[in-house]
Amino acid sequence: VCAGTLNGLSVTGDAQHQYQTLHKMYNNCEIVMGNLEIVLIDHTQDLSFLQVSWGDVGDTRGYHTRRTDPPCPQTIREVTGYILIAMNVFASLPLQNLRVIRGTQFYEEKFALFVLLNYNPNTTHALRHLGLNQLTEILSGGVYIEKNAQLCHVDTVEWRDIMRDPRQEPIVRDNGKACAPCHESCGGHCWGPGPEDCQK
């Protein structure tokens, strides 16, 4: 169990400081008591602390010197508050084990999952894949995913099956356009193009 944050889009220090703070807070964390906020993380960060989560990827010492993923381990299974992913330029979010967002706190007063502006317009670096394949429940709050220029497979997720509040309408717009279709076995609902990415 680890504590979350309540900073929103406010950041202290540069991208390296943000990375170091996230590393300290979420390394080997399974339950985030509060909010998981990943803001202003660069694509060049050394993520060797993910060696346990990534197993056989890397060199013989277990280091990963050229990863392009953000600094939070795949072991996070639950977030009690909200998740904010904003202004990052890593390619994929390694939260494959995340199952539940409880939504005891909201971002912008109503969102439990908020994903915004995760790309650099001057380069090809951008968030391309959410990787939330195990996410099956957002107990309270809505979903807002907008202006992620290269993010794919967010409009192929049936968010209403995940969100427990029937009054909430998911807001998913202005994201990646050149995306591969879902695998034929997924029935049109998926987190990515492979058969392992079908929405559960």
- Are the beta carbons of 158 and 172 closer than 8 angstroms? no
- Are the beta carbons of 53 and 72 closer than 8 angstroms? no
pLDDT at 18 over 60: yes
Domain ranges of the chain: 1-200
Burial class (CB in 10 A: 0-12, 13-18, 19+), 185: exposed
Task: Sort strands 137-138 and 171-175 into parallel, antiparallel or unpaired.
Answer: unpaired
CATH 3.80.20.20 fits 1-200, yes or no: yes
Given this model, what pLDDT does residue 53 score? Answer: 42
> Can you tell me the mean pLDDT for 51-55?
38
- pTM, 2 dp: 0.84
Please state, in angstroms and rounded to a whole number, the distance separating the CA atoms of residues 84 and 139: 16
Percent of the residues in the chain that have a pLDDT greater than 70, as a whole number: 85
